[in-house]
Amino acid sequence: MPTGRVKWFDKKKNYGFIIKDDDEKDIFFHVKGIKDPVLKNIISQDQKVVFAILKDEKGERAINIMPEL
Protein backbone atom coordinates (compact mmCIF):
# COMPACT_ATOMS: atom_id res chain seq x y z
CA MET A 1 0.00 0.00 0.00
CA PRO A 2 1.23 3.53 -0.70
CA THR A 3 2.45 5.69 2.17
CA GLY A 4 2.56 9.41 2.68
CA ARG A 5 1.84 12.23 5.08
CA VAL A 6 -1.17 14.43 5.54
CA LYS A 7 -0.51 17.80 3.90
CA TRP A 8 -3.64 19.27 5.46
CA PHE A 9 -7.09 18.14 6.57
CA ASP A 10 -10.09 20.40 7.15
CA LYS A 11 -12.31 18.70 9.74
CA LYS A 12 -15.19 21.10 9.02
CA LYS A 13 -15.14 20.48 5.26
CA ASN A 14 -14.24 16.77 5.71
CA TYR A 15 -11.48 16.64 3.08
CA GLY A 16 -7.78 17.16 2.66
CA PHE A 17 -4.65 16.12 0.78
CA ILE A 18 -1.91 13.56 1.32
CA ILE A 19 1.61 13.91 -0.10
CA LYS A 20 2.66 10.52 -1.44
CA ASP A 21 6.13 9.35 -0.34
CA ASP A 22 7.13 7.80 -3.66
CA ASP A 23 6.60 10.81 -5.93
CA GLU A 24 5.58 13.66 -3.56
CA LYS A 25 2.39 14.12 -5.58
CA ASP A 26 -0.68 15.46 -3.73
CA ILE A 27 -3.65 13.14 -3.61
CA PHE A 28 -7.15 14.17 -2.51
CA PHE A 29 -9.01 12.39 0.27
CA HIS A 30 -12.45 12.73 1.83
CA VAL A 31 -13.33 11.74 5.37
CA LYS A 32 -15.31 8.81 3.90
CA GLY A 33 -11.94 7.41 2.78
CA ILE A 34 -10.69 7.06 6.36
CA LYS A 35 -10.88 3.37 7.26
CA ASP A 36 -12.18 3.82 10.82
CA PRO A 37 -14.60 6.75 11.39
CA VAL A 38 -13.06 7.33 14.82
CA LEU A 39 -9.75 8.19 13.12
CA LYS A 40 -11.19 11.33 11.51
CA ASN A 41 -10.85 13.01 14.91
CA ILE A 42 -7.13 12.23 15.18
CA ILE A 43 -5.92 12.71 11.58
CA SER A 44 -3.65 15.75 11.63
CA GLN A 45 -1.16 17.66 9.49
CA ASP A 46 2.16 15.86 8.86
CA GLN A 47 0.79 12.55 10.17
CA LYS A 48 2.24 9.50 8.39
CA VAL A 49 -0.48 7.36 6.78
CA VAL A 50 -0.96 4.31 4.57
CA PHE A 51 -3.76 4.20 2.02
CA ALA A 52 -5.09 2.73 -1.20
CA ILE A 53 -5.69 4.70 -4.39
CA LEU A 54 -8.99 4.75 -6.23
CA LYS A 55 -8.99 6.02 -9.82
CA ASP A 56 -12.26 7.24 -11.30
CA GLU A 57 -13.55 9.89 -13.71
CA LYS A 58 -12.51 12.64 -11.27
CA GLY A 59 -8.93 11.38 -11.00
CA GLU A 60 -7.14 9.72 -8.12
CA ARG A 61 -8.20 9.80 -4.48
CA ALA A 62 -6.99 8.11 -1.34
CA ILE A 63 -9.21 5.54 0.38
CA ASN A 64 -8.79 3.09 3.29
CA ILE A 65 -6.58 5.64 5.05
CA MET A 66 -4.93 4.49 8.28
CA PRO A 67 -2.15 5.88 10.46
CA GLU A 68 1.21 4.32 9.62
CA LEU A 69 2.41 2.12 12.44
pLDDT tens per residue across span 8-57: 999 899 999 999 999 989 999 998 888 887 677 777 889 999 999 999 89
Cβ neighbours of residue 15 closer than 8 Å, sequence gap 6 or more = 9, 28, 29, 30, 31
**pTM, rounded to two decimals:** 0.87
Give CA–CA dist 25/2, Å, rounded.
12
Return the pLDDT at 5.
Answer: 96
Neighbouring residues of 45: CB distance < 8 A, sequence distance ≥ 6: 6, 7, 8, 9
pLDDT on residue 54: 96
Instruction: Please report the pLDDT score of residue 42 as a whole number.
Output: 73
Contact by Cβ (8 Å): 50, 20: no
pLDDT on residue 64: 94
pLDDT the model gives residue 36: 80
